[in-house]
Structure 1
Amino acid sequence: MPIDRDKALTADPSVREIRWSTRDVLLYHLSLGAGADPATGPELSLTYERGLTVLPTFALVAGSGISSGETAGPGLHLPGIDVDLRALLHAGQGLRVHRPLPASGTATLRSRVAEVWDKGRAALVVLESTATGPDGRALWTTTTRVWARGEGGFSQDPGPEDERVTPPDRPADTVLTSVTAPQQALWYRLNGDLNPLHADPATARAAGFDRPILHGLASYGLVGKALVDGVLDGDVTRLTGLDARFAGPLVPGESLTTSVWRTGPAGDGTERLVLHTACPERDGAPVLTHATATVVAS
């Protein structure tokens, strides 16, 4: 069915109640390797329910875990948009955290299509969701960019040129390394994304990969955790924003190197970091690009 941009943009937002438990948070942290490095110890602030703190990127899976009964659907089925899973590519992800996330809780999640652009051979769908706590205050806002192959041709408007984030022309201030385990994708999928691309070798081969690949949001979460550990002194509340494009896959067992350039205080108590994440086992092939993080300045 052709995309109906006007219908997609004018549709009422979907509203649902979500909930999560400390068990969901613990599983998310473990799926990103928390507590696995003997050099850092058990990381009890992320792996033990007493004094548990929450990585901001948990917002991307809150309320969608298997234990909650909510899992990712097989495609994109919204007013004016009906696209099969096989045509979809998660192109980019943005997150803004408005306040520290509780280790368990409930929220009202309002989601809408923020924009749809005709890119010729594909459509770029921008989805926006905001979670509001029981007190009526916003907890987080996410912006998801989805590339829908073969769905272009519905308008003559390709949209504005994408903002390109270019690292400064100097060595990175910090380089962070994130190691993944061979079973990393099998753990991460228990957060709710059961796409067989991340578990079944036959499905992966049919999609053009030698073996199952790691979820893009797992790489995203690994980078978020690396920033907290390596730049923010382990303080999860200092990471308030993370934006990135997904540039290439990662195979479980490979590692990530994230180069970080500091840009100095922004004047509002925050600092913008420029990031570039690559896979050293594949000659520095990019994994996350055009990436920035917003952090509370030290």
Structure 2
Amino acid sequence: MAVTIEQLQAIRAEAARFSYSDRESFLYALSVGFGRDPLNPGELPYVCENEDAIRTVPTMATVLTQFSALRESGIDYSKVLHAEQRLKVFRPLPAAATIVADYGVTAVVDKGPEKGALIFVETRVRNADDGQPLYTAGATIMARGDGGIGSVGDAPDVLPSPPARAPDQVVSFQTLPGQALLYRLNGDRNPLHSNPAMALRGGFSQPILHGLCTYGVACKTIIASICGYDHARIEQFDVRFTSPVYPGEQLDIDIWNEGTSVMFRCRAPARNVIALNNGVCTFRAFA
């Protein structure tokens, strides 16, 4: 057993500073599908500076900070899966900012020596200029090779299942063959997403799309189809990762309208697989 519960509990960072510019905001938006139609007035504020104020994609929050402590903790990273992503946005992300982040492991749920452990990490971010909160991002990591270490802390509530009824709306999105090559420029340069030989070694017929790219595509779809391109409406965006996507595949995003929120999932219909499931997007209530 290469890691202990005490080592995981000790993982933390406080007041780590990161900066980004509108270049990173534009790149992220392009990498999750904005700007496909350069004449669409709803999409242009996400990908260039024109007369309108720059708008940002809420899920960009997942790429603005980079911490290596969990990777270096001693867990068997070759057997790690990103199981869930949760995001609470307190206000729209600035197009450019210096941010301050606190990071740490909040809970561990031991599934047993043969089943691995769920590790819950949380990043709390505030704007350096005013010290006010921007967002909290929570990731659930499945460490398949590190079960039997014990449990600690309180895991978040289980994400709800989609309604049993047919979706209220289905929106198709065509991923590009080179989409992973573009998305990796946001910071995740794992060769599984770019190197065909490494993908084959990992059991895939070709490099796979980043799960967080599919997550961003789902957010882009909801911004466009539900929010009238108003990014400020999104307050929370949670999802479970269930299957990889291959660049170039068509994705169908199933959406259920629940009033102040929508539930969603993302399918690759050509292979009849669900890539994202248990998705919940909560909308901000404006006075």
User: TM over 0.5: same fold?
Assistant: yes
Farther off after superposition, 159-168 or 95-104: 159-168
Unpaired runs of 5+ residues, structure 2, are: none
Question: Residue 211 of structure 2 corresponds to which residue in structure 1?
Answer: 216
Q: Is residue 9 from structure 1 mapped to residue 3 from structure 2 by the alignment?
A: no
How many residue pairs match? The answer is: 281
Identity over aligned pairs, percent: 36
Structure 1 pair 57–282 and aligned structure 2 pair: CA distance change class (3 A): same
Farther off after superposition, 36-45 or 209-218: 36-45
Q: Is residue 129 from structure 1 mapped to residue 123 from structure 2 by the alignment?
A: yes
Which of 287, 291, 295 is the equivalent residue of 2:275? Answer: 287
Q: Per-residue deviation at 1:174?
A: 1.4
Aligned equivalents of 1:293 and 1:20: distance in 2? Answer: 25
What do the CA deviations read for 1:174-224 (whole angstroms, capped 9, x no partner)? 112221100000000000000000000000000000000000000000000
Question: Residue 115 of structure 1 corresponds to which residue in structure 2?
Answer: 107
Unpaired runs of 5+ residues, structure 1, are: 65-71, 265-270
Aligned equivalents of 2:36 and 2:56: distance in 1? Answer: 17
> Could you tell me whether the CA contact under 8 Å between 1:91 and 1:145 is conserved in 2?
yes
Q: Per-residue deviation at 1:29?
A: 0.8
Q: Is residue 87 from structure 1 mapped to residue 79 from structure 2 by the alignment?
A: yes
> Could you tell me whether the CA contact under 8 Å between 1:75 and 1:84 is conserved in 2?
no
Q: SS of 1:83's equivalent?
A: coil
Kindly provide the amino acid, as one letter, of the partner of residue 190 in structure 1: L
Question: Residue 172 of structure 1 corresponds to which residue in structure 2?
Answer: 167
> Could you tell me whether the CA contact under 8 Å between 2:75 and 2:145 is conserved in 1?
no
Aligned equivalents of 1:288 and 1:18: distance in 2? Answer: 29
Question: Residue 69 of structure 1 corresponds to which residue in structure 2?
Answer: none
Aligned equivalents of 2:95 and 2:209: distance in 1? Answer: 25
Report the TM-score, using the length of structure 1 for normalisation.
0.87
Aligned equivalents of 1:42 and 1:297: distance in 2? Answer: 22
Q: Per-residue deviation at 1:158?
A: 11
Question: Residue 60 of structure 2 corresponds to which residue in structure 1?
Answer: 58
Q: Per-residue deviation at 1:145?
A: 0.7
Aligned equivalents of 2:158 and 2:49: distance in 1? Answer: 40
What do the CA deviations read for 1:129-167 (whole angstroms, capped 9, x no partner)? 011112111001000011112100112789879625222
Q: SS of 1:289's equivalent?
A: strand
Structure 1 pair 240–128 and aligned structure 2 pair: CA distance change class (3 A): same
Q: Aligned runs of 1:255-294 on 2, under 5 Å?
A: 255-264=250-259, 271-283=260-272, 285-294=273-282
> Could you tell me whether the CA contact under 8 Å between 2:58 and 2:231 is conserved in 1?
yes
Structure 1 pair 182–125 and aligned structure 2 pair: CA distance change class (3 A): same
Aligned equivalents of 2:226 and 2:285: distance in 1? Answer: 11
Aligned equivalents of 2:38 and 2:271: distance in 1? Answer: 26
Report the TM-score, using the length of structure 2 for normalisation.
0.90
Aligned equivalents of 1:177 and 1:240: distance in 2? Answer: 23
Q: Per-residue deviation at 1:42?
A: 8.3
Where does structure 1 differ by over 6 angstroms across 4 or more consecutive aligned residues?
Answer: 156-162
> Could you tell me whether the CA contact under 8 Å between 2:11 and 2:69 is conserved in 1?
no
Question: Residue 149 of structure 2 corresponds to which residue in structure 1?
Answer: 154
Structure 1 pair 276–42 and aligned structure 2 pair: CA distance change class (3 A): closer
Question: Residue 247 of structure 2 corresponds to which residue in structure 1?
Answer: 252
Question: Residue 98 of structure 2 corresponds to which residue in structure 1?
Answer: 106
Aligned equivalents of 2:43 and 2:254: distance in 1? Answer: 23
Aligned equivalents of 2:155 and 2:76: distance in 1? Answer: 26
> Could you tell me whether the CA contact under 8 Å between 1:35 and 1:41 is conserved in 2?
no
Q: Per-residue deviation at 1:32?
A: 1.3
Structure 1 pair 230–174 and aligned structure 2 pair: CA distance change class (3 A): same
> Could you tell me whether the CA contact under 8 Å between 2:107 and 2:153 is conserved in 1?
no
Q: Is residue 142 from structure 1 mapped to residue 144 from structure 2 by the alignment?
A: no
> Could you tell me whether the CA contact under 8 Å between 1:35 and 1:42 is conserved in 2?
no
Q: Aligned runs of 1:15-34 on 2, under 5 Å?
A: 15-34=15-34
Q: Per-residue deviation at 1:241?
A: 0.9
Over the aligned positions, Cα root-mean-square deviation in angstroms equals: 2.4
